[in-house]
């Protein structure tokens, strides 16, 4: 289904061609100030500039012709400023679209064309470390991007590029070997937590700083692992499986799924060939015994070579990422690869993307979606009292606990199990939404009272708006108004007209959110929608209204609920029927 913006853009482009003979895009955008209009044609200025003409008379001409072409859709357009044309939609046109949008499973959002294949690399924790609050952002931002791109119809392949290879395993494995044969048993059973594995790693890592014998032992283990020593590989595999199992529990709780979890180790056998290929193509060169990619032509990277093989022969995170690109390109032929990591990895990805281009993948779009840190109330990266990063599992437990207190206060009479389910959905939703509603590049302050507030731009506010609408339908025992045709929808009250127009703008929010992978645009749209619904609901009786207003308002209610539910779903957040 074509969105209103697309429809206006297409019609206006035709009018521009016929009235002033310019074959140029109309460039229709939502109008900055709703007083002047709903949409604005911005395309006249570039045309005037190219012709060296005054834009104003050109705009007047186009506006006059538009008035006739858009007669069924809009009031006669007006010219503003240097040559913008403002368009105000007519209630009749808006009303006529609503039933179709409600009947559309995509709620009016046009299907992507062309469909792209997109590889999405997110979450990617390091094995043998407990997932903490730092892993939250990549996981839920990535998941929301995946959901949104899939909703648009793209082919999205998600891959959890876990850190299951590298120097840390030298310390972990030498630590386990100290424990002796019991280690294997520990890893097979349930009694060992990831926290304990992490402790073994930390202890050995710290000891190695002081003690060259420990350091040497760790190095030996790494060499054994890399050369495929069966016993060492077996132990390594047990550590990885153990960690992945623990991570999967959290993913399940967060309702995040991956198509693949290849991990860094998967690429290990390919690294040598990748380095050789890059050297043969002249992309990488030997430098003081190591192999590097240099970027003399790029000012910011001039003195920042990309190290892909160390002088001791070891490969790096960078080498693995290059092999990963090669693998993904060959296996999936993606048009785009997106990486979601915190902004500290900016340089790495700049170098990686630049190297990939030189290597011969110039037409794949490579995107690094970065984000800031989660801060505590003291504006410093959030920590527990003892200074440890907060564990993700504890964080989710706390969210549910706090949400349950709210449910108890509001709805004590519900069955205990229902209350727990509501608390789960509300608590989890609050945590996700607090993160996603921020401009991702900024740090944000983690605050329980703020994210769980029933008022303001929060998940509970939106979930509650949904619940309220559902209760209207329960009260009226209405099955919904989806069978209505556009002629019987009436938009007489300004509040219902305003809400209706805004419901048609869901596609624009999705477009904004996918342009630069910013889920916060979906959040602000949903929040504005809930606010507009609230104004409408205060002013316009629904069940008590006479027909046709009653049915027509029920349709607005139903569509608002559907858009809220779909929008939250794109953020990975569930809705409930009562709270």
Q: Among residues 161 and 326, whose Cβ is nearest to ligand ARG?
A: 161
Q: For the CB of residue 538, give the shortest distance to ligand ARG in the complex, in Å.
A: 47
Structure tokens at 178: 């100290």
- Rounded to whole angstroms, the Cα distance separating 469 from 130 reads 40
Burial 34-72 (b: 16+ CB within 10 A, else e): eeebbbbbbbbbebbeeeeeebeebbebbbebbbebbee
Q: Do residues 536 and 178 lie in contact, with contact meaning Cβ atoms separated by under 8 Å? A: no
Q: Among residues 97 and 242, whose Cβ is nearest to ligand ARG?
A: 242
Long-range contacts of 473-479 (CB under 8 A, 24+ apart): 473/554, 473/557, 473/558, 475/543, 476/542, 476/543, 476/554, 478/554
Q: Which residue has the tokens 């160390």?
A: 310
| Site residues for ligand ARG per CB under 6 A | 121, 124-126, 161, 163, 321, 324, 339, 341
- Rounded to whole angstroms, the Cα distance separating 225 from 490 reads 71
**Closest listed residue to residue 172, CA positions, set 154, 152, 156, 187:** 187
Q: Among residues 342 and 393, whose Cβ is nearest to ligand ARG?
A: 342
Chain centroid to CA 51:
42
Q: Among residues 129 and 505, whose Cβ is nearest to ligand ARG?
A: 129
- Rounded to whole angstroms, the Cα distance separating 172 from 161 reads 20
- As beta bridge partners, residue 445 has 375
**Closest listed residue to residue 278, CA positions, set 356, 386, 226:** 356
Neighbouring CB atoms inside 10 A of 541's CB total 12
Q: For the CB of residue 192, give the shortest distance to ligand ARG in the complex, in Å.
A: 22
Q: Among residues 341 and 457, whose Cβ is nearest to ligand ARG?
A: 341
Region of residue 288 (left: phi > 0; alpha: psi -120 to 50; beta: else) = left
Q: For the CB of residue 541, give the shortest distance to ligand ARG in the complex, in Å.
A: 53
Q: Among residues 343 and 410, whose Cβ is nearest to ligand ARG?
A: 343
Cis peptide before 550 (omega within 30 of 0): no
Q: For the CB of residue 504, give the shortest distance to ligand ARG in the complex, in Å.
A: 38
Q: Among residues 321 and 435, whose Cβ is nearest to ligand ARG?
A: 321
Q: For the CB of residue 168, give the shortest distance to ligand ARG in the complex, in Å.
A: 11
Q: Among residues 222 and 451, whose Cβ is nearest to ligand ARG?
A: 222
- In order, the DSSP letters of 371-417 are E--EE-TTSSB---TTSPPPBHHHHHHHHHHHHHHHHHHH-TTS-HH
Q: Among residues 127 and 149, whose Cβ is nearest to ligand ARG?
A: 127
Q: Among residues 226 and 343, whose Cβ is nearest to ligand ARG?
A: 343
Report the relative pairing of strands 306-309 and 365-371 from DSSP bridges.
Answer: unpaired
Q: For the CB of residue 487, give the shortest distance to ligand ARG in the complex, in Å.
A: 53
């Amino acid at each position: 289904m074509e969105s209103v913006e697309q429809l206006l853009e297409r019609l206006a482009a035709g009018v521009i061609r016929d009235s002033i003979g310019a074959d140029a895009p109309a460039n229709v955008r939502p109008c900055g100030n709703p007083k002047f209009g709903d949409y604005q044609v911005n395309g006249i200025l570039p045309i005037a500039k190219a012709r060296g003409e005054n834009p104003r008379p050109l705009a007047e001409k186009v506006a006059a012709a538009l008035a006739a072409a858009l007669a069924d859709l809009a009031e006669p357009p007006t010219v503003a400023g240097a040559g913008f044309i403002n368009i105000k939609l007519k209630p009749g046109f808006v009303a006529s679209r609503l039933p179709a949008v409600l009947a559309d499973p995509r709620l009016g959002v046009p299907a992507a064309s062309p469909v792209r294949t997109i590889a999405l690399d997110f979450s990617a924790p390091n094995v043998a470390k407990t997932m903490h609050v730092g892993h939250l952002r990549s996981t839920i931002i990535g998941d929301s991007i995946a959901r949104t791109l899939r909703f648009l119809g793209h082919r999205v392949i998600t891959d959890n590029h876990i850190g299951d290879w590298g120097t840390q395993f030298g310390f972990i494995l030498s630590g386990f070997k100290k424990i002796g044969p019991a280690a294997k048993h520990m890893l097979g059973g349930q009694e060992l937590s990831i926290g304990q594995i992490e402790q073994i790693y930390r202890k050995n890592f710290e000891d190695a700083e002081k003690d060259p014998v420990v350091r040497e032992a760790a190095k030996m283990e790494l060499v054994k692992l890399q050369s495929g020593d069966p016993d060492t590989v077996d132990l390594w595999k047990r550590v990885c499986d153990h960690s992945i199992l623990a991570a999967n529990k959290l993913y399940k709780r967060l309702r995040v799924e991956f198509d693949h979890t290849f991990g860094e180790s998967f690429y290990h056998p390919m690294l040598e060939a990748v380095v050789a290929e890059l050297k043969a193509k002249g992309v990488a060169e030997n430098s003081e015994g190591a192999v590097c990619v240099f970027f003399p032509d790029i000012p910011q990277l001039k003195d920042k070579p990309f190290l892909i093989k160390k002088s001791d022969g070891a490969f790096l995170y960078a080498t693995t990422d290059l092999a990963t690109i090669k693998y993904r390109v060959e296996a999936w032929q993606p048009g785009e690869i997106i990486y979601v990591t915190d902004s500290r990895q900016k340089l790495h990805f700049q170098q990686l993307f630049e190297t990939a281009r030189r290597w011969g993948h110039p037409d794949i779009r490579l995107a690094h979606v970065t984000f800031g840190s989660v801060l505590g109330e003291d504006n410093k990266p959030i920590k527990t009292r003892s200074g440890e990063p907060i564990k993700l599992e504890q964080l989710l437990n706390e969210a549910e606990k706090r949400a349950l207190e709210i449910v108890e206060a509001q709805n004590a009479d519900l069955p205990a199990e229902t209350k727990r389910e509501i608390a789960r959905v509300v608590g989890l939703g609050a945590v996700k939404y607090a993160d996603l509603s921020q401009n991702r590049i900024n740090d944000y302050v983690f605050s329980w009272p703020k994210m769980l507030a029933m008022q303001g731009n929060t998940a509970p506010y939106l979930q509650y708006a949904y619940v309220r609408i559902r209760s209207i339908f329960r009260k009226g025992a209405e099955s919904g108004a989806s069978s209505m045709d556009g002629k019987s929808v009436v938009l007489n009250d300004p509040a219902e007209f305003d809400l209706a127009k805004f419901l048609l703008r869901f596609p624009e929010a999705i477009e904004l959110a996918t342009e630069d992978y910013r889920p916060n645009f979906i959040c602000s749209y949903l929040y504005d929608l809930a606010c507009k619904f609230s104004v409408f609901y205060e002013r316009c009786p629904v069940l008590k209204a006479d027909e046709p207003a009653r049915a027509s308002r029920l349709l607005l209610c139903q569509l608002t609920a559907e858009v809220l539910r779909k929008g939250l779903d794109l953020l990975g957040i569930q809705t409930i029927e009562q709270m």
